[in-house]
Structure 1
Amino acid sequence: MRSGQGDPEQPPGLDPARLRDYLDAHVPGLTAGPLTGEVVPGGRSNLTYVVTDGRSRWVVRRPPLGHVLPTAHDMTREHRVISALAPTPVPVPGTIALCQDADVLGAPFYVMEYVEGKPYRSDTQLAELGPERTKAIGERLIDTLVDLHAVDPVAVKLEDFGRPQGFLERQVRRWKKQLDASRSRDLPGIDSLHERLVAAVPGDAEPTIVHGDYRLDNVLVRDGRITAVLDWEMSTLGDPLTDLALMVAYAEAGKIGPSVVSTVSTAPGYPGTEDVVGRYAQGSGRDVSNLDWYIGFAFFKLAVILEGIYYRFSHGQTVGEGFEAIGDAVIPLIRLGNDTFKD
Structure 2
Amino acid sequence: MCMWLDNPDRSGLVGAERVADVERITRALRDFLPGGEGITRVVPLTTGFSNETYLIEGPDLILRLPPSAGAMLDGHDVIGQARIYQELGGREDAPRVPGVVAVCGDRAVLGVPFFVMERLAGEAIDDLDMQPWFADAGDDLRADICRQWVSVFAGLSRVRPLDVLGPVVAPEDDARTWQAFARKADSPVLAALFDRLLAVPAPCSGPPALIHGDSKLSNIMWLDGRVNAVLDWEMALNGEPLANLGYMLHALESDYHAATRAFKLPGMLTRGEVIALWEQVSGRSADGVFWHEIAQMGKLAAIIAEGANMFSSGRSSDPKLAIFARSVDYYIGVMQAMLDSGGY
| Shorter-chain TM-score range | 0.7 to 0.9
Q: In structure 2, do the counterparts of structure 1 residues 106 and 60 end up closer, same or farther at CA, with 3 Å as the change threshold?
A: same
Q: In structure 2, do the counterparts of structure 1 residues 44 and 133 end up closer, same or farther at CA, with 3 Å as the change threshold?
A: farther
Q: In structure 2, do the counterparts of structure 1 residues 318 and 100 end up closer, same or farther at CA, with 3 Å as the change threshold?
A: same
Q: Is the 8 A contact 1:193 1:338 kept in 2?
A: yes
Q: In structure 2, do the counterparts of structure 1 residues 132 and 172 end up closer, same or farther at CA, with 3 Å as the change threshold?
A: same
2:28 matched to 1:21?
A: yes
Letter matched to residue 244 of structure 2:
D
Matches within 5 A, 1:1-343: 13=20, 15-18=22-25, 20-22=27-29, 24-25=31-32, 27-40=33-46, 45-52=50-57, 55-69=58-72, 71-87=74-90, 88=92, 90-122=95-127, 125=131, 126-153=134-161, 158-159=162-163, 161-164=165-168, 167-183=170-186, 189-202=189-202, 205-252=206-253, 256=257, 262-318=260-316, 321-341=319-339, 342=342, 343=344
Q: Is the 8 A contact 1:102 1:108 kept in 2?
A: yes
Q: Is the 8 A contact 1:151 1:208 kept in 2?
A: yes
Unaligned 5+ runs, structure 1: 1-10
Q: In structure 2, do the counterparts of structure 1 residues 21 and 282 end up closer, same or farther at CA, with 3 Å as the change threshold?
A: same
Q: Is the 8 A contact 2:42 2:54 kept in 1?
A: no
Q: In structure 2, do the counterparts of structure 1 residues 314 and 284 end up closer, same or farther at CA, with 3 Å as the change threshold?
A: same
Q: Is the 8 A contact 2:49 2:68 kept in 1?
A: no
Q: Is the 8 A contact 2:97 2:229 kept in 1?
A: yes
After TM superposition, give the deviation of residue 195 of structure 1 in Å.
1.0
Looking at structure 2, the residues matched to 37 and 318 of structure 1 have their Cα atoms a distance apart, in angstroms, of 22
Identity %: 27
Tell me, what secondary structure is at the counterpart of 1:324?
A: helix
Q: In structure 2, do the counterparts of structure 1 residues 95 and 299 end up closer, same or farther at CA, with 3 Å as the change threshold?
A: same
Looking at structure 2, the residues matched to 323 and 338 of structure 1 have their Cα atoms a distance apart, in angstroms, of 23
Q: Using the TM superposition, name which of 291-300 and 105-114 deviates more.
A: 105-114
Q: In structure 2, do the counterparts of structure 1 residues 47 and 308 end up closer, same or farther at CA, with 3 Å as the change threshold?
A: farther
Tell me, what secondary structure is at the counterpart of 1:227?
A: strand
After TM superposition, give the deviation of residue 216 of structure 1 in Å.
0.6
After TM superposition, give the deviation of residue 63 of structure 1 in Å.
2.3
Letter matched to residue 209 of structure 1:
L
Q: Deviations over 1:93-112 (max 9, x none)?
A: 11111122344334322111
After TM superposition, give the deviation of residue 14 of structure 1 in Å.
5.1
Name the residue aligned to 2:9: none
After TM superposition, give the deviation of residue 65 of structure 1 in Å.
2.3
Looking at structure 1, the residues matched to 99 and 116 of structure 2 have their Cα atoms a distance apart, in angstroms, of 9
Q: Is the 8 A contact 2:45 2:53 kept in 1?
A: yes
Q: Please tell me whether Structure 1 or Structure 2 has the larger radius of gyration of its CA atoms.
A: 2
Q: In structure 2, do the counterparts of structure 1 residues 94 and 177 end up closer, same or farther at CA, with 3 Å as the change threshold?
A: same
Letter matched to residue 113 of structure 1:
E
Q: Please state which structure has a larger fraction of its residues in helix.
A: 2
Looking at structure 2, the residues matched to 49 and 317 of structure 1 have their Cα atoms a distance apart, in angstroms, of 23
Q: Is the 8 A contact 1:38 1:50 kept in 2?
A: yes
Q: Deviations over 1:270-294 (max 9, x none)?
A: 1111111110111111121101100
Q: In structure 2, do the counterparts of structure 1 residues 266 and 147 end up closer, same or farther at CA, with 3 Å as the change threshold?
A: same
Looking at structure 2, the residues matched to 220 and 100 of structure 1 have their Cα atoms a distance apart, in angstroms, of 27
Looking at structure 1, the residues matched to 271 and 265 of structure 2 have their Cα atoms a distance apart, in angstroms, of 13
What is the TM-score normalised by the length of structure 2?
Answer: 0.82
Q: In structure 2, do the counterparts of structure 1 residues 162 and 222 end up closer, same or farther at CA, with 3 Å as the change threshold?
A: same
After TM superposition, give the deviation of residue 298 of structure 1 in Å.
0.7
What is the TM-score normalised by the length of structure 1?
Answer: 0.82
Q: Is the 8 A contact 2:30 2:39 kept in 1?
A: no
Q: In structure 2, do the counterparts of structure 1 residues 279 and 14 end up closer, same or farther at CA, with 3 Å as the change threshold?
A: farther
Q: Is the 8 A contact 1:66 1:317 kept in 2?
A: yes
Unaligned 5+ runs, structure 2: 1-17
Q: Is the 8 A contact 1:13 1:106 kept in 2?
A: no
Segments of 4+ in structure 1 off by > 6 A?
none
Looking at structure 2, the residues matched to 216 and 46 of structure 1 have their Cα atoms a distance apart, in angstroms, of 18
After TM superposition, give the deviation of residue 225 of structure 1 in Å.
0.6
After TM superposition, give the deviation of residue 310 of structure 1 in Å.
2.2
Over the aligned positions, Cα root-mean-square deviation in angstroms equals 2.8
Q: Using the TM superposition, name which of 322-331 and 210-219 deviates more.
A: 322-331
Q: Using the TM superposition, name which of 32-41 and 221-230 deviates more.
A: 32-41
